Amino acid sequence: MNRAALTLIACLFAVNTAVAQKEPVRVVEGAGEYLLSHLDLPSNATGSLGLKPCATCSTQSLRVTSATQYHVNDSQVAFADFAAVVAELRRRNIDQHTMVGLFVDRASHEVTRIYVYTSAQ
Protein backbone atom coordinates (compact mmCIF):
# COMPACT_ATOMS: atom_id res chain seq x y z
CA MET A 1 0.00 0.00 0.00
CA ASN A 2 2.86 2.39 0.78
CA ARG A 3 4.39 1.77 -2.67
CA ALA A 4 1.07 2.64 -4.31
CA ALA A 5 0.80 5.86 -2.30
CA LEU A 6 4.36 6.87 -3.19
CA THR A 7 3.72 6.13 -6.86
CA LEU A 8 0.56 8.25 -6.77
CA ILE A 9 2.40 11.14 -5.10
CA ALA A 10 5.21 10.93 -7.68
CA CYS A 11 2.69 10.96 -10.54
CA LEU A 12 0.83 13.92 -9.07
CA PHE A 13 4.11 15.80 -8.63
CA ALA A 14 5.05 15.09 -12.25
CA VAL A 15 1.66 16.25 -13.50
CA ASN A 16 1.79 19.36 -11.32
CA THR A 17 5.29 20.17 -12.57
CA ALA A 18 4.28 19.67 -16.21
CA VAL A 19 1.17 21.84 -15.77
CA ALA A 20 3.21 24.57 -14.10
CA GLN A 21 5.63 24.48 -17.04
CA LYS A 22 2.76 24.24 -19.55
CA GLU A 23 4.30 21.17 -21.11
CA PRO A 24 2.24 18.13 -22.07
CA VAL A 25 2.60 15.01 -19.95
CA ARG A 26 3.96 12.13 -21.98
CA VAL A 27 3.31 8.57 -20.90
CA VAL A 28 6.43 6.62 -21.79
CA GLU A 29 5.84 3.40 -19.84
CA GLY A 30 2.97 1.13 -19.05
CA ALA A 31 2.97 -0.75 -15.76
CA GLY A 32 1.05 -3.57 -14.15
CA GLU A 33 1.06 -5.96 -11.22
CA TYR A 34 0.66 -9.66 -11.86
CA LEU A 35 0.87 -12.91 -9.97
CA LEU A 36 4.32 -14.46 -10.25
CA SER A 37 2.62 -17.74 -11.18
CA HIS A 38 1.39 -16.04 -14.38
CA LEU A 39 4.93 -15.11 -15.47
CA ASP A 40 7.35 -17.36 -17.37
CA LEU A 41 10.89 -15.99 -17.43
CA PRO A 42 13.13 -16.50 -20.43
CA SER A 43 16.08 -18.86 -20.03
CA ASN A 44 18.53 -15.94 -20.23
CA ALA A 45 18.62 -12.14 -19.95
CA THR A 46 17.50 -11.58 -23.54
CA GLY A 47 14.53 -13.10 -25.27
CA SER A 48 10.85 -13.17 -24.45
CA LEU A 49 8.95 -13.74 -21.27
CA GLY A 50 5.45 -15.16 -21.16
CA LEU A 51 2.73 -13.32 -19.26
CA LYS A 52 -0.84 -14.35 -18.57
CA PRO A 53 -2.51 -11.17 -17.28
CA CYS A 54 -5.26 -13.30 -15.69
CA ALA A 55 -6.02 -16.98 -15.15
CA THR A 56 -8.29 -17.18 -18.21
CA CYS A 57 -6.30 -14.78 -20.45
CA SER A 58 -4.10 -15.86 -23.34
CA THR A 59 -0.34 -15.77 -22.79
CA GLN A 60 1.36 -12.65 -24.12
CA SER A 61 4.98 -12.57 -25.21
CA LEU A 62 7.03 -9.57 -24.05
CA ARG A 63 10.63 -8.89 -25.07
CA VAL A 64 13.39 -8.46 -22.51
CA THR A 65 16.79 -7.09 -23.48
CA SER A 66 20.18 -6.60 -21.91
CA ALA A 67 18.85 -3.21 -20.74
CA THR A 68 15.96 -4.77 -18.76
CA GLN A 69 16.44 -4.21 -15.04
CA TYR A 70 15.55 -6.85 -12.44
CA HIS A 71 14.74 -5.90 -8.85
CA VAL A 72 14.24 -7.95 -5.71
CA ASN A 73 13.02 -6.10 -2.61
CA ASP A 74 14.15 -2.69 -3.93
CA SER A 75 17.63 -3.92 -4.94
CA GLN A 76 18.66 -4.19 -8.56
CA VAL A 77 20.08 -7.64 -9.26
CA ALA A 78 21.45 -9.55 -12.24
CA PHE A 79 19.04 -11.67 -14.27
CA ALA A 80 20.57 -14.90 -12.89
CA ASP A 81 19.95 -13.75 -9.30
CA PHE A 82 16.39 -12.69 -10.13
CA ALA A 83 15.73 -16.06 -11.79
CA ALA A 84 17.14 -17.86 -8.73
CA VAL A 85 14.78 -15.96 -6.40
CA VAL A 86 11.83 -16.77 -8.67
CA ALA A 87 12.84 -20.45 -8.76
CA GLU A 88 13.02 -20.53 -4.95
CA LEU A 89 9.57 -18.94 -4.64
CA ARG A 90 8.20 -21.55 -7.02
CA ARG A 91 9.97 -24.37 -5.17
CA ARG A 92 8.36 -23.17 -1.94
CA ASN A 93 5.00 -22.96 -3.79
CA ILE A 94 4.37 -19.33 -2.83
CA ASP A 95 4.39 -17.92 -6.37
CA GLN A 96 0.57 -18.08 -6.30
CA HIS A 97 0.62 -15.30 -3.68
CA THR A 98 3.60 -13.24 -4.84
CA MET A 99 3.08 -10.18 -7.02
CA VAL A 100 5.49 -8.83 -9.62
CA GLY A 101 5.58 -5.33 -11.04
CA LEU A 102 6.21 -5.15 -14.76
CA PHE A 103 7.12 -1.96 -16.64
CA VAL A 104 6.97 -1.83 -20.44
CA ASP A 105 8.19 0.90 -22.79
CA ARG A 106 5.15 2.04 -24.76
CA ALA A 107 7.09 2.82 -27.94
CA SER A 108 9.27 -0.30 -28.23
CA HIS A 109 7.04 -2.70 -26.22
CA GLU A 110 10.15 -3.92 -24.41
CA VAL A 111 10.17 -4.75 -20.70
CA THR A 112 12.21 -2.07 -18.94
CA ARG A 113 11.95 -3.26 -15.32
CA ILE A 114 10.60 -6.20 -13.31
CA TYR A 115 10.13 -6.04 -9.54
CA VAL A 116 9.39 -8.83 -7.09
CA TYR A 117 8.86 -8.21 -3.39
CA THR A 118 9.37 -11.11 -1.05
CA SER A 119 10.91 -12.02 2.27
CA ALA A 120 12.81 -14.89 0.59
CA GLN A 121 16.17 -13.79 -0.79
Please tell me the predicted confidence (pLDDT) of residue 110: 94
Please tell me the predicted confidence (pLDDT) of residue 86: 93
**How much is the mean pLDDT over the chain?**
84
Longest dimension (CA), the chain: 51
Q: Give the domain ranges of the chain.
A: 28-116
pTM metric for this prediction: 0.74
Query: Looking at the predicted structure, is the pLDDT value of residue 63 above 80?
Result: yes
Closest CA to 83 of 54, 41, 112, 114: 41
Q: Is 74 left (phi over 0), alpha (psi -120 to 50) or beta?
A: left
